Structure 1
Amino acid sequence: MTGHFRYTSPQPPKSATGVVADVYAQLATDFGIERASTFVVLSASPPLLTATWALVRESLLAGHVSRTEKEVVAAGVSLANRCAFCVVAHTVLLHATGDHRLAETIGGGGTPDAPGHRELLAWGKDMSIPQPFPAGHAPEHIGTALAFHFVNRVVSSLLTEDMLPGGAQKYRLVRSAAGRSLARTVRRELRQGASLALLETEGAEPAWAAGSPVGTAFGALRTAAHLGAGLLSDEDAAFVRESVAGWDGVTALPLNSAELPGRVERPGARLALLAARAPYRITDEDVAAWRVPPFTDHCLVHLIAFGAFCAVERIEANLPTHSKELA
């Protein structure tokens, strides 16, 4: 397969077997996009694919919180992370909810009219501020936001910026039409937990998830993503963790930063740190310097996932401990 994929060559979804095929089947019915490249790019690692899909499904797609509200949060995260692909994707999905003005306002970098949407968008851009939702909504809102902090980094690292062929997403009518084609699927109510049987890893559930399916999926993704640390020396893995732990969770890492390891001297640490703190700055040369035999697509996906999830954990650590009380 070519097109969206920059550094990997995933097998065509039609040739998938086992749990990968099962994920694609759920994607088609629950997400409405059978060959969503945001998930196909992870197919070289079934543990990463299943956990990422489960976290997105259980937080963004299923549950009781308004899908429109969660799409606003996801768009805010994507804007903060400069993930052009994902900003367009959430613009299209907001069109699918039926709120076309909101979709174009957010997609164009504007401010929503409704105070609730303004607050959610601002929180998506900076999760360290007070949470503008009731405590009971935390698993879905926080799960959605952290899911896309991970997905944005994978997408910016491994996919092109164009969501649609030929850059067609730049046209409003195309974005609107794409959203309308997904409207029926987006407006369906999905049973929570249906993706959990696909998981190939498990891990500790975070307190904010309150024992929900979102927490199970998040724990599984944490375990799967940290497998990528094994591709680095102990020294380099510790360096990446320490650099991300000392980061404010917002500021991008400049390419001339003294923190950034050299491409020749420590290519793996450089790639993982960029995935965490500035994935849109990963270059062909960065990938080529590290990806030499015996490293494969499977290895590259795991290294990027390790860096990406280190960032997720740093952002999670910045979460305030209070939310709006239920009215």
Structure 2
Amino acid sequence: MRATLVQVGLRGLSTAQVRQVRPVRFGRAGGDVARVYRELERDFGVLAPPVALHAPAPDVLAAAWMTLRETLLVPGRAPRAVKEAVSTAVSEGNACPFCVTMHSSVLNDLVGGRGGAERDPPARAAADWARANASPDTAAAHPVPFPADQAAEVVGTAVVLHYLNRMVNLFLGELPLPPGAPAASMVVVRRVLVHLIKSAERRGPRPGASLDLLPDAPLPDDLRWAEGSPSVAGAFARGAAAVERAGRRSVPDEVRELVSAHLARWDGRPLGVSRAWVEEAVGELPSRHRATARLALLTALASYQVDQGVVDGFRAVSPADRALIDVTSWASMAAARRIGGWVRTG
């Protein structure tokens, strides 16, 4: 598919939104990065910054793209409005205003006006389910509002958004606008983006078309909820394996063990505004690992609290852009998988 003039014009604006790492611009992308960028325009409608921000680590970029594509974008058994309602509810819970703006805009268009999920009973029920399943305590008692054959898509959408919300909070601003753009321009930008996204959906992205970006891998036990859809299962198996490799590449063993231990005890609830718990946790590690552990723990459990000082501290010991993507993507995926493991599907 040849890109439209509008898509071409938005390329620079999309990558200009990426902060903390040097963005890979469309015209300079090569190999798998270039392929993912082309597929984003074809199947998402626009070079979406939440995916493009991963470009310094091409394998992680492929993982983020294929898991989002196969759950939210590929037409399947679950209605798009249901998946957008889940995306909006998860993003609200994770305090990710960028994602709330985008997914609520698409949802409002799908249901015919403002009010989002409130205007569509299945979407409203799915949003309530997503909110309840943010914690195992509230998940257990909440009814599952979708049939079993939609579980892979709906749960997958929730898990992908739990992952992307964390990355977006670190690497993008509060609105899908380039730096310096007035907030008032969001009215026009929202209209254009929704049009492009809906146009891409009408073209009907083909299931599994991006899976060959990464090698085949077995589906981990905590992702068994994906088994009902071969393409969703394939995307998560390959994507999870790629992110695990990124973790081994850039996250010391001691840090991975610390984050995994905290996630095993986590019940999904916010940890509060104080970061004293982080300092206590990283104090257990050798000083050379503390900056990485601080970044990974905050990304996994309170991404909205990652500030410039945390990033600068990590950069002092690991200056490469790829390392920053590796650590944050590994921590984000670990948290998202933890949540997916307790989500109720039946």
TM-score bucket (shorter structure) = 0.7 to 0.9
How far 1:200 moved relative to its partner?
Answer: 4.6
Aligned pair partner of 2:244 in 199, 202, 226: 226
Give me the whole-angstrom Cα distance separating, in 1, the residues matched to 2:304 and 2:119.
Answer: 30
Distance 2:182 2:304 in 1: 18
Alignment identity in percent?
Answer: 32
Query: Which of 303, 310, 313 pairs up with 1:279?
Result: 303
TM-score scaled by structure 1?
Answer: 0.88
- Residue in 2 aligned with 1:105? 115
2:210 counterpart residue number = 195
Whether the 8 Å contact between 1:201 and 1:224 is mirrored in structure 2 is no
Question: What is the SS of the residue equivalent to 2:37?
Answer: helix
Taking only aligned residues, the RMSD between alpha carbons, in angstroms, comes to 2.4
Deviates more, 1:280-289 or 1:128-137: 128-137
Distance in 1 (CA, whole Å) between partners of 2:255 and 2:197 is 43
1:126 aligns with 2:138: no
What displacement does 1:275 show? Answer: 0.6
Secondary structure of 2:258's aligned partner: helix
Letter of the structure 2 residue corresponding to residue 80 of structure 1: G
Quickly say closer, same or farther: Cα 1:203–1:304, change in 2 above 3 A. Answer: farther
**Matches of 1:179 and 1:121, distance apart in 2:** 20
1:59 to 47, 61, 71: 71
Change (3 A) 1:138 1:70: same
Query: SS state of the match for residue 291, structure 1?
Result: helix
Q: 1:173 to 1:4 in 2, by over 3 A?
A: closer
Question: Residues 321 and 171 (structure 1 numbering): CA distance in 2 closer, same or farther, change over 3 Å?
Answer: closer
Amino acid at match of 2:226: A
Change in Cα spacing, 1:169 to 1:14, as seen in structure 2 (3 Å) is farther
For residues 224 and 297 of structure 1, the distance between their equivalents in structure 2, rounded to whole angstroms, comes to 17
Choose which of 38, 57, 62 in structure 2 pairs with 1:50. Answer: 62
1:24 aligns with 2:37: yes
Distance 1:131 1:112 in 2: 18
3-state DSSP class of the match of 1:132?
coil
Q: Cα distance 1:202–1:192, how it changes in 2: closer, same or farther (>3 A)?
A: same
Q: Normalising by structure 2, what TM-score?
A: 0.83
Distance 2:345 2:192 in 1: 40
Letter in 1 for 2:324: L
State how far apart, in whole Å, the 2-side matches of 1:201 and 1:9 are.
Answer: 30
Letter in 1 for 2:269: V
The answer for unaligned runs of 5 or more in structure 2 is 1-11, 134-138
Letter in 2 for 1:208: W
> CA 1:21–1:174 in 2, change beyond 3 Å: closer, same or farther?
closer
- 1:287/1:259 CA distance change after superposition, 3 Å: closer
Q: What residue in structure 1 maps to residue 219 of structure 2?
A: 204
CA contact (8 A) 2:151 2:345 kept: no
Q: 1:136 and 1:77 mapped to 2: Cα distance? A: 21
- Any residues of structure 2 matched to 1:56-95 within 5 Å, and which? 56-62=68-74, 63-95=76-108
Q: Deviations over 1:76-126 (max 9, x none)?
A: 1111111011011112322553x342xx324xxxx6143322211112223
Q: d(CA) in 2 for partners of 1:174 and 1:306?
A: 31
Instruction: Give, in angstroms, the shift of residue 183 of structure 1.
Output: 2.7
For this pair of structures, how many residues does the alignment match? 314
Partners of 1:256 and 1:212 in 2: CA distance: 41
Structure 1 pair 170/152, CA: closer, same or farther in 2 (3 Å)? farther
Where do 5+ consecutive residues of structure 1 fail to align?
Answer: 323-327
Q: Tell me if the contact between 2:16 and 2:23 (Cα under 8 Å) persists in the aligned partners.
A: no
1:144 equivalent to 2:157? Answer yes
Matches within 5 A, 1:172-321: 172=187, 174-200=189-215, 202-204=217-219, 206-210=223-227, 211-230=229-248, 231-260=250-279, 261=281, 265=287, 266-292=290-316, 294-321=318-345
Structure 2: distance between partners of 1:150 and 1:15: 27
Work out the CA distance in 1 between the residues paired with 2:95 and 2:85.
15
Deviation at 1:24, TM superposition (A): 1.0
> 2:245 corresponds to which letter in structure 1?
L
What residue in structure 2 maps to residue 162 of structure 1?
Answer: 175
